[in-house]
Amino acid sequence: MEKNKKPYKKVRRDDMEIVGNHMAVKVVHNQIEPALKLWKNRLKDSGKLDEVRDRKEFLKPSVIKRKKKEDAIRKEARNRRFQ
């Protein structure tokens, strides 16, 4: 008799999906780790977490423009360095 035999098969992504609700994840066979990993990836990909971070504090439009310009300058310098 095998002692190290797992009681359940590996949980597939399709088994954890809930039809009609993109963000919801179903826990199968009390295996919460794969369900949590899938939910975190979906949350990150949806962009909702970034939106919450952005709305945490109000930024004036001039500050947003300045930051956008600085990021563009930094990105261009990085592209020049690697080419």
Q: What is the pLDDT of residue 12?
A: 83
pTM for this entry: 0.60
Measure CA 74 to chain center. 25
The 10 Å Cβ neighbour count of residue 22 is 11
Q: What is the pLDDT of residue 37?
A: 93
Nearest to 38 by CA among 30, 50, 26: 26
Measure CA 56 to chain center. 19
Nearest to 17 by CA among 26, 8, 9: 26
Which residue is listed with tokens 């970034």?
50
> What percent of the chain clears pLDDT 70, i.e. is strictly above it?
90
